[in-house]
Amino acid sequence: MSPANTNLKETITTLLSQIGMSARAFQGTGLISCSPITGEAIGEVSSHTPTEMRAAIEKADLAFKGWRCVPAPKRGELIRLFGEELRQNKEALGQLVTIEAGKILQEGLGEVQEMIDICDFAVGLSRQLYGLTMASERPGHRMMETWHPLGVVGLITPFNFPVAVWAWNFALAIICGNATVWKPSEKTPLTALACQHLFDNAVAKFKDAPDGLSCLIQGGRDVTDVLVDHPRVALVSATGSTEMGRSVGQRVAKRFGKSLLELGGNNAMIVTPSADLTLAYRAITFSAVGTSGQRCTTLRRLFVHRSMKADVLTKLKQIYESLPIGNPLEEGTLCGPLIDGHSYTAFQNTVHKAQSEGGNLVAGGVRVLSDQYPNGYYVSPALLDMPDHTDSLFTETFAPILYVVSYDTLDEAIAMNNQVPQGLSSCVFTTDIREAEYFLSAQGSDCGIANVNIGPSGAEIGGAFGGEKETGGGRESGSDSWRNYMRRATNTVNYSSELPLAQGIKFDL
Ligand code: NAD
């Protein structure tokens, strides 16, 4: 039987037992997990207390003291074993993500693939935690930098990427020699339990990893506050809304801790007259509608050259009216539910606000399938033809709403791209190399991600991921993001029998 036709609670039980977990693990009290597919409760896990959070931080701190002495390539071996666990359980974990977060199965599986990819990346990286050597101005001296683990790393993650965002941070933090304490979204506690279980399996195979290397603490603001404020937590990596980051960033800064913030996006695409429109339409659809508009990199603002806007809107209307919206477990569905009723209210309010600003609702914008799923919130993605870059376009509403605005010059389109407070992802569709390079240049997009002929969503793990301004400035995943999880020491060694001072200073006794 297809998973879409079975009772969700039973499916969850089957999936968790496939992963090797006992039913008791998800029969705690305090934190109820509901599936956005039907709105029904699918499990309950124990909610932890602030005292338990403090104990977890202390345990992780002890684990760190042992783990930092394990050579980095050996630490990589633990992550290699974890990657193996993920490979073996990809199908079950992917389905779990779909049921708990509501994204279509292909995207659930893709999210687990991202975890596997970052594990592979981290294994290689565990042999490449390089520092530089510098030329010293003094004879008989050598200068270099060394990178050391930070300590306890706190991880706060959102509902929309319940496993990948954790894995991006976790795999790198572990190979860098840290211990972690994870506080996942209250909306996705089961996937968090499953991840922790799979990591525990890897630890059992590895044999000599210290207890407490990865602590999972579930709960609400009271436990998160302890994590954010605790002086033993060297780095807080927090992914979620800008509102959350504003609070977490300030609190961590107050105690001079480090924070890595990955916050809201408000992403744009510019379609120029020379664009390959076949590519552009596919990219627009995937990035505006995929994950029901609940990606930080979702396309929200589309800037189309004035000469083409009417045609582009006609084509997009056609596409939007034929979108397969429905149960994300069913094959063929491209757009699943919103996470909950609050999200639906935000969707509705924003569509109305945009209309009050002169926006014309070209397609979608309403709740659908409410007879079939009275407690599930499915919407037809909204396509709005906007008269200008109005007030609504400055805010990220975490739902599928695409605003289309016309422009006359590329400079005007780039100015609108950069005008919003967020700075995560952006792209241009063009076949003109001058336009492409200009968009990527210092005068172009001000975002952390700027693409040519690729939509703003669906990044690979090899690049540094993150954005500027209210997106928080953090970089995770590939490139040299690993440095965020380590501290740099500058070392100068004098192997001569003199003691010359820097800058030629004379200070003789
Ligand atoms: P959210 O901010 O509501 O919650 C994210 C996490 O922060 C959860 O674990 C939550 O419990 C915790 N949290 C919330 N408020 C907090 C506070 N004041 N102090 C401490 N912890 C707090 O976000 P969400 O609804 O789960 O996720 C959607 C948001 O996340 C969107 O804004 C999206 O753009 C953003 N996001 C960003 C990225 C990125 O890499 N930039 C990736 C995924 C999601």
Which residue shows structure tokens 């630490």?
75
Q: Ligand 1 within 6 A of 156 CB?
A: yes
| Å from CA of 421 to ligand 1 middle | 17
| Å from CA of 159 to ligand 1 middle | 7
Look at residue 1 in the predicted model and tell me its pLDDT: 39
Instruction: List, in sequence order, every residue forming a beta bridge with 182; answer none if it has no partner.
Output: 155, 216
Which residue shows structure tokens 């407490």?
212
Q: Ligand 1 within 6 A of 249 CB?
A: no
Q: Ligand 1 within 6 A of 395 CB?
A: no
Which of helix, strand or coil describes residue 70?
coil
- Among 249, 244, 193, 187, which Cα is nearest to 217's? 193
Q: Ligand 1 within 6 A of 247 CB?
A: yes
| Å from CA of 47 to ligand 1 middle | 19
| Å from CA of 438 to ligand 1 middle | 33
Q: What is the sign, positive or negative, of the torsion defined by CA atoms of 445, 450, 456, 461?
A: negative
Look at residue 22 in the predicted model and tell me its pLDDT: 84
Q: Ligand 1 within 6 A of 224 CB?
A: yes
d(CA 124, CA 118): 10
d(CA 46, CA 25): 9
Look at residue 454 in the predicted model and tell me its pLDDT: 98
d(CA 347, CA 44): 28
Phi, psi of 443 (to 5 degrees): -90, 0
Instruction: List, in sequence order, every residue forming a beta bridge with 427; answer none if it has no partner.
Output: 269, 451
Which residue shows structure tokens 């930070």?
150
Which residue shows structure tokens 């004379």?
506
Q: Ligand 1 within 6 A of 157 CB?
A: yes
Q: From the alpha carbon of 247, which atom of ligand 1 is closest?
A: 18
The distance from CA 124 to its chain's CA centroid, rounded to whole angstroms, is 22
Q: What is the mean pLDDT of each run of 10 residues along the chain (509 residues)?
A: 68 94 84 97 95 98 98 98 98 98 98 98 98 97 98 98 98 98 98 98 96 98 98 98 98 98 98 98 98 98 98 98 98 98 98 98 98 98 98 98 98 98 98 98 98 96 98 98 98 97 92
Which residue has its alpha carbon closest to ligand 1 atom 13?
Answer: 244
Catalytic residue positions, numbered? 262, 296
8 A C-beta contact, residue 476 and residue 484: yes
d(CA 142, CA 135): 7
